[in-house]
C-alpha cells in the first residue's frame, strides 16, 4: 500500500479498540518470568555451550601476540575464536568498528576473542588465562582539545544557513552567546546484549536481542560473508534497547563464530562491565548557542553549532537538528563539527540529536527569556512557527507546541513560579520550577506484515517488528482487532523473526506508527480477500463482532476463512508527504525541584509532560513511554555521565554502579497529558512517534528548575554538586 495522500476516514477511526488504554497482551508473560529472552532459550536447541567475550585492554594499537595455550588446556574449553583463526570477515553496513578486532585495535574493550566452554564458569575462567601482548599507539580522546584546535564544519555536513546570521546577531539589541556541554552516555538497558547461535549446515539461526531484525540479519550475513537467506534472527523479547540494540553487535557475531568453531550451539551475553566501552555510546557534545532578539522578544537570529567526536567513518551527534525547526527567526546558522576520536562508536541513543540538542537549547531559551524579562513560556510562544523556518512553503503537518506549553503551565501551576530565582524557600529546601519545549521529528519507515485468518476466526499477525518495551505487541493487536472487527482475545501477534515480513523495526520513535500502518495495510488486503472469498464487495463490507456483512448478508470470519484459512501480506510505503510537510512531535515539560539549601542535594518533586504526537494508539503504553523517557531525562540532568580517562581512552565507570541511572528514590509521581490530535499526513493510523519525545527537553527543564531554585546556572551536564555547591546562596 502506498501512502502518498493524506489519510481519509478509515476503519481505525472507529476507535473501538485502538485508542483504548488496554493492558499489554504480553504482560502476564513478563510479570511471571515466562517471557523468554535471548539467553534463556533452553527450548530452542539442545547441547548449548557458553561463550565469554574478551575485550581489548588498550584503546588504540596492535595486538602483537596472543597466547591461547593455557586457555585451550583449561577444563571444559571447546574453542577459542580470534581474528587470526576466524577466517575472513566482512563488516556490516551499520557498523563502524569491527565487531571482532585484531590485530588492529580500534577502541577499548573492542572484542578480540571468544572463549567457548561447556559451562559459563569454565568459559569465564579460561578467558582470564588468555595472554595478550599489545603495542599501544597514541589515540585521540579529547573533544575539547579538538575544538580548541579549530575544528570546523566538514564537507560532508556543511553548515545550514538562512538569511545573514552574523549580521543579524550582531545587530540584535538582546543577545545570548553561551556554550554548553553534554557528556557521553550509555544506554544501560537492563538486558545485556545476548545471542544464542546454532548452525545447521551452512545456515545459522541466532536468537538475539535486537531492535532492527532486517538490518541486523543483513549485517550478520555481510559479516560472515554468507547469503542473507541463510541467516535467521529471532528476537521476540528484548530487555530494553534505547538505540543500543539497533545494530548487529559482537554478541551475535561471536556466538555464530563460536558455534561454528565448537560445532555446537553457543550462547553469549556481554558482561555488564564490557558493555559501555564495547557497544555504542551517545557521544558527548560541546554546543555553542547564539540567540539574538528584539526588545519585545522576537528572535531575529539563532545559531547553534555542535562539536562531537567519533571513530573514523562515524557520524556526528546531530545536536542542532531541532534548532532548524523549533523556533521562528529570519537568520539562522546550524552546523556540526566532528572530531575523530578513538572511543567506542558514537551512535543513536534514544532521541539522538534532539535529546542532547535540547539539553542545551532549552537552557539557552531560559537564559534568553530572563535577559528579556519575559516569562519562559511566553518567550517560546511568541517565537512559534507553523512553517519550516528555512522554507516557509513547507508547513508543519500538525504543530501544537503552544497548546502544550499553555496547558502545561495551567495544569502545573506555573503562575506560582517566582520569576526571581532563589526566592522560594520551604524549610531546608530552595524550591524552583523550570520548563522546556519538547520536540522530536516524526519519521516514517516502510513496514510489512502478514495477517492470517483461521477457521476459528483467530487473526494472527506476523511481522519482524520488535517490542523493546514500547508496547508493539499490544498496539499491533489493537490495530488488527480494529481492522478485522474481532475481540483482542482473537488476535495473536508474532514478532521479531526474520522469517516474517520486514518491518520498520524499533528506532527513532518511528516503530509504533509505521509498524501498525504496515499491519493496517495487510489487514486491508485480508478484508478484500475475505470479501472476495464469500462474494461480497469489500468496499461495502462491515467487519464487526467477528462477522463480515453487507446489507442483510452476514458471514462469520471463521466460516469465511474455512479449514484452509486465508492469508494476506502487504507493506506500507510512504510517499513524499513527509517532504511536503514537516512532521514533528511536540511537548511541554514542567519540573519542580527542591535543592537542599545547605548540602545542595537536588530532589525532583513534580514532573508534568503535555504531549502532542498524533493519535495515541494506546494511552496506557504511550504514557509509560513518556514517563520512562522523563525518568531518563532526570538521569541526563543529574547523574548520567560516562567518565572518560583521556590518557588511556576509555570510560572508567563502565558498569551499573559507576554509571548512575535514576532509581526509585529519584523519581516522583509523574503526570502526562496527551493533547487530542490526529495527523492525517503521518499514516493511515494518523499517529506519530511518542517514545522519544518524552525525553526531549526534560533535562533542560530540570536544569532550569535548579536555576530558578538557586540562582545558579550550570551549563555542563550532569548537574552535579561539584559544579555548583560553592555558588549556592549563603545559608540563612
Which residues are tagged catalytic? 692
Task: For the beta carbon of residue 129, count every other beta carbon within 10 angstroms.
Answer: 16
Residue 240 backbone class (left: φ over 0; alpha: ψ -120 to 50; beta: rest)? left
Q: Which one of residues 662, 684, 697, 718 is an interface residue with other proteins (CB under 8 A)?
A: 662
3-state SS string for 26-53: CHHHHHCCCCCCHHHCCCCCCCCEEEEE
Q: Work out how close the CB of 435 gets to other proteins at its nearest, in angstroms, rounded to a whole number.
A: 19
Kindly state the number of chain residues that form the binding site for other proteins, as judged by CB under 8 A: 65
445, 510 contact by CB (below 8 A): yes
- Find the binding residues for other proteins in span 241-260 (CB under 8 A): 241-242
Q: Which is nearer to other proteins, 326 or 591 (by Cβ)?
A: 591
Spatial separation of the C-alpha atoms in residues 720 and 181, rounded to whole Å: 13
Q: Work out how close the CB of 612 gets to other proteins at its nearest, in angstroms, rounded to a whole number.
A: 21
Question: Quick check: 121 binds other proteins (CB under 8 A)?
Answer: yes
Q: Which one of residues 10, 13, 14, 29 is an interface residue with other proteins (CB under 8 A)?
A: 29
- Give the 3-state secondary structure of residue 402: helix
Q: Which one of residues 8, 9, 34, 202 is an interface residue with other proteins (CB under 8 A)?
A: 34
Q: Work out how close the CB of 121 gets to other proteins at its nearest, in angstroms, rounded to a whole number.
A: 4
Contacts of 674 (CB under 8 A, 6+ apart): 610, 611, 612, 613, 616, 619, 622, 623
Q: Which is nearer to other proteins, 395 or 668 (by Cβ)?
A: 668
The region of 116-124, 487-495, 567-575, 706-714 touching other proteins under the rule CB under 8 A is 116-124
Q: Which is nearer to other proteins, 122 or 216 (by Cβ)?
A: 122
Spatial separation of the C-alpha atoms in residues 625 and 631, rounded to whole Å: 10
193, 209 contact by CB (below 8 A): yes
Question: Quick check: 215 binds other proteins (CB under 8 A)?
Answer: no
Question: Quick check: 606 binds other proteins (CB under 8 A)?
Answer: no
- Find the binding residues for other proteins in span 168-207 (CB under 8 A): 187-192
Question: Quick check: 33 binds other proteins (CB under 8 A)?
Answer: yes
Instruction: Build a one-symbol-per-residue string for 389-428: x at contacts with other proteins by CB under 8 A, - elsewhere.
Output: ----------------------------------------
Question: Quick check: 515 binds other proteins (CB under 8 A)?
Answer: no
H helical segments located in 73-229:
120-127, 143-148, 165-171, 213-224
Question: Cell digits for 622?
Answer: 504511550
Question: Cell digits for 254?
Answer: 561471536
Q: Which is nearer to other proteins, 661 or 719 (by Cβ)?
A: 661
The CA dihedral of 91, 95, 96, 100, to the nearest 10 degrees, is -60
- Give the 3-state secondary structure of residue 216: helix
Q: Which one of residues 28, 227, 392, 416 is an interface residue with other proteins (CB under 8 A)?
A: 28
Closest by alpha carbon to 641, among 703, 698, 727, 720?
A: 720
Spatial separation of the C-alpha atoms in residues 715 and 501, rounded to whole Å: 46
Q: Work out how close the CB of 567 gets to other proteins at its nearest, in angstroms, rounded to a whole number.
A: 28
- Find the binding residues for other proteins in span 456-475 (CB under 8 A): 468-471
Q: Which one of residues 415, 598, 665, 732 is an interface residue with other proteins (CB under 8 A)?
A: 665
Q: Is the peptide bond before 657 cis (omega within 30 degrees of 0)?
A: no
Q: Which is nearer to other proteins, 352 or 628 (by Cβ)?
A: 628
- Find the binding residues for other proteins in span 620-659 (CB under 8 A): 620-621, 623-625, 627-632, 655-657
Length of the chain: 732
Question: Cell digits for 320?
Answer: 542542532
Q: Which is nearer to other proteins, 348 or 470 (by Cβ)?
A: 470
Q: Which is nearer to other proteins, 30 or 167 (by Cβ)?
A: 30
- Give the 3-state secondary structure of residue 307: strand
Question: Quick check: 269 binds other proteins (CB under 8 A)?
Answer: yes
Cβ-based burial of 156 (10 A; exposed 0-12, middle 13-18, buried ≥19): exposed
Q: Which is nearer to other proteins, 370 or 640 (by Cβ)?
A: 640
109, 98 contact by CB (below 8 A): no
Closest by alpha carbon to 211, among 252, 257, 256?
A: 252
Q: Work out how close the CB of 672 gets to other proteins at its nearest, in angstroms, rounded to a whole number.
A: 9
Question: Quick check: 272 binds other proteins (CB under 8 A)?
Answer: yes
DSSP H or E stretch at residue 612? strand 602-612
Q: Work out how close the CB of 40 gets to other proteins at its nearest, in angstroms, rounded to a whole number.
A: 4
Task: For the beta carbon of residue 175, count every other beta carbon within 10 angstroms.
Answer: 15
Question: Quick check: 698 binds other proteins (CB under 8 A)?
Answer: no
Spatial separation of the C-alpha atoms in residues 477 and 218, rounded to whole Å: 27
Question: Quick check: 480 binds other proteins (CB under 8 A)?
Answer: no
Q: What is the DSSP letter of 397?
A: S
Q: Work out how close the CB of 704 gets to other proteins at its nearest, in angstroms, rounded to a whole number.
A: 21
Q: Work out how close the CB of 132 gets to other proteins at its nearest, in angstroms, rounded to a whole number.
A: 23
Question: Quick check: 387 binds other proteins (CB under 8 A)?
Answer: no
481, 520 contact by CB (below 8 A): no
459, 568 contact by CB (below 8 A): no
- Find the binding residues for other proteins in span 45-104 (CB under 8 A): none
Spatial separation of the C-alpha atoms in residues 116 and 159, rounded to whole Å: 49
Q: Which is nearer to other proteins, 561 or 695 (by Cβ)?
A: 695
Spatial separation of the C-alpha atoms in residues 146 and 339, rounded to whole Å: 6
Phi, psi of 301 (to 5 degrees): -150, 135
The region of 10-18, 37-45, 532-540, 542-550 touching other proteins under the rule CB under 8 A is 37-45
Q: Work out how close the CB of 468 gets to other proteins at its nearest, in angstroms, rounded to a whole number.
A: 6
Q: Which is nearer to other proteins, 1 or 29 (by Cβ)?
A: 29
Question: Quick check: 24 binds other proteins (CB under 8 A)?
Answer: yes
Contact positions vs other proteins (CB under 8 A): 23-24, 26-37, 39-40, 42, 119-122, 125, 187-192, 237-242, 269, 271-273, 468-471, 620-621, 623-625, 627-632, 655-657, 661-665, 667-670
Amino acid at each position: 500500500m502506498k501512502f502518498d495522500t493524506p489519510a481519509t476516514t478509515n476503519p481505525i477511526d472507529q476507535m473501538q479498540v485502538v485508542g483504548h488504554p488496554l493492558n499489554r497482551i504480553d504482560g502476564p508473560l513478563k510479570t511471571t518470568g515466562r517471557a523468554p529472552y535471548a539467553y534463556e532459550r533452553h527450548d530452542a536447541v539442545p547441547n548449548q555451550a557458553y561463550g565469554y567475550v574478551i575485550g581489548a585492554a588498550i584503546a588504540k594499537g596492535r595486538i602483537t601476540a596472543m597466547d591461547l595455550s593455557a586457555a585451550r588446556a583449561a577444563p571444559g574449553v571447546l574453542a577459542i575464536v580470534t581474528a587470526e583463526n576466524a577466517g575472513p570477515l566482512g563488516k556490516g553496513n551499520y557498523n563502524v568498528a569491527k565487531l571482532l578486532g585484531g590485530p588492529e585495535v580500534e577502541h577499548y574493550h573492542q572484542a578480540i576473542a571468544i572463549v567457548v566452554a561447556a559451562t559459563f564458569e569454565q568459559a569465564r575462567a579460561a578467558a582470564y588465562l588468555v595472554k595478550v601482548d599489545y603495542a599501544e599507539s597514541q589515540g585521540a580522546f579529547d573533544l575539547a582539545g579538538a575544538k580548541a584546535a579549530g575544528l570546523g564544519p566538514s564537507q560532508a555536513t556543511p553548515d545550514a544557513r538562512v538569511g545573514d546570521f552574523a549580521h543579524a546577531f550582531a545587530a540584535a539589541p538582546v543577545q545570548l552567546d553561551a556554550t554548553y556541554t553534554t557528556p557521553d552516555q550509555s544506554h544501560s538497558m537492563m538486558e545485556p546484549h545476548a545471542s544464542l547461535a546454532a548452525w545447521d549446515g551452512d545456515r545459522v539461526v541466532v536468537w538475539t536481542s535486537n531492535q532492527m531484525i532486517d538490518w541486523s540479519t543483513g549485517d550478520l550475513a555481510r559479516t560472515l560473508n554468507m547469503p542473507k537467506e541463510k541467516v535467521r534472527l529471532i528476537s521476540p523479547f528484548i530487555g530494553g534497547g534505547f538505540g543500543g540494540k539497533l545494530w548487529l553487535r559482537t554478541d551475535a557475531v561471536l556466538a555464530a563464530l563460536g558455534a561454528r568453531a565448537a560445532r555446537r550451539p553457543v550462547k553469549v551475553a556481554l558482561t555488564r562491565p564490557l558493555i559501555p566501552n564495547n557497544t555504542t555510546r551517545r557521544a558527548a557534545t560541546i554546543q555553542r548557542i547564539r540567540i539574538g532578539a528584539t526588545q519585545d522578544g522576537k528572535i531575529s537570529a539563532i545559531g547553534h553549532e555542535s562539536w562531537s567526536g567519533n571513530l573514523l567513518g562515524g557520524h556526528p551527534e546531530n545536536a542542532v537538528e531541532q534548532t532548524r525547526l523549533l523556533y521562528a527567526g529570519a537568520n539562522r546558522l546550524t552546523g556540526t563539527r566532528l572530531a575523530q576520536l578513538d572511543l567506542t562508536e558514537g551512535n543513536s541513543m534514544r532521541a539522538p540529536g534532539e535529546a542532547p540538542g535540547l539539553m542545551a537549547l532549552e537552557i539557552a531559551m531560559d537564559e534568553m527569556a530572563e535577559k528579556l524579562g519575559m516569562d519562559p513560556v511566553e518567550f517560546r510562544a511568541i517565537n512559534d512557527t507553523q512553517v519550516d523556518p528555512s522554507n516557509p512553503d513547507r508547513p508543519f503537518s500538525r504543530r501544537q507546541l503552544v497548546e502544550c506549553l499553555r496547558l502545561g503551565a495551567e495544569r502545573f501551576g506555573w503562575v506560582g513560579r517566582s520569576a526571581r530565582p532563589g526566592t522560594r524557600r520551604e524549610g531546608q529546601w530552595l524550591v524552583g520550577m523550570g520548563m522546556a519545549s519538547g520536540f522530536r521529528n516524526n519519521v516514517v519507515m516502510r513496514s510489512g506484515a502478514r495477517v492470517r485468518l483461521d477457521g476459528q476466526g483467530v487473526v494472527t499477525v506476523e511481522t519482524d517488528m520488535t517490542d523493546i518495551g514500547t508496547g508493539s505487541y499490544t498496539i499491533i493487536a489493537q490495530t488488527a482487532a480494529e481492522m478485522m472487527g474481532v475481540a483482542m482475545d482473537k488476535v495473536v501477534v508474532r514478532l521479531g523473526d526474520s522469517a516474517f515480513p520486514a518491518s520498520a523495526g524499533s528506532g527513532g520513535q518511528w516503530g509504533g506508527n509505521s509498524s501498525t500502518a504496515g499491519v493496517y495495510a495487510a489487514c486491508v488486503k485480508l478484508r478484500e480477500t475475505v470479501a472476495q472469498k464469500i462474494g461480497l464487495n469489500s468496499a461495502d463490507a462491515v467487519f464487526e463482532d467477528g462477522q463480515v456483512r453487507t446489507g442483510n448478508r452476514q458471514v462469520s470470519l471463521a466460516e469465511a476463512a474455512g479449514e484452509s484459512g486465508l492469508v494476506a501480506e502487504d507493506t506500507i510505503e510512504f510517499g513524499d508527504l513527509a517532504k511536503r510537510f514537516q512532521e514533528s512531535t511536540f511537548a511541554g515539560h514542567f519540573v519542580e525541584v527542591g535543592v537542599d539549601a545547605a548540602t545542595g542535594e537536588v530532589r525532583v518533586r513534580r514532573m508534568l509532560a503535555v504531549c502532542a504526537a498524533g493519535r495515541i494508539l494506546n494511552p496506557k503504553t504511550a504514557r509509560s513511554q513518556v514517563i520512562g523517557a522523563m525518568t531518563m531525562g532526570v538521569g541526563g540532568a543529574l547523574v548520567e555521565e560516562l567518565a572518560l580517562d583521556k590518557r588511556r581512552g576509555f570510560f572508567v565507570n563502565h558498569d551499573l554502579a559507576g554509571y548512575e541511572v535514576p532509581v526509585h528514590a529519584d523519581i516522583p509521581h509523574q503526570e502526562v497529558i496527551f493533547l487530542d490530535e490526529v495527523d492525517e499526513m503521518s499514516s493511515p493510523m494518523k499517529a506519530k512517534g511518542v517514545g522519544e519525545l518524552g525525553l526531549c527537553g526534560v533535562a533542560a527543564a530540570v536544569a532550569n528548575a535548579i536555576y530558578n531554585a538557586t540562582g545558579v546556572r550550570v551549563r555542563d551536564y550532569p548537574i552535579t554538586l561539584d559544579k555548583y555547591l560553592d555558588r549556592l546562596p549563603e545559608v540563612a
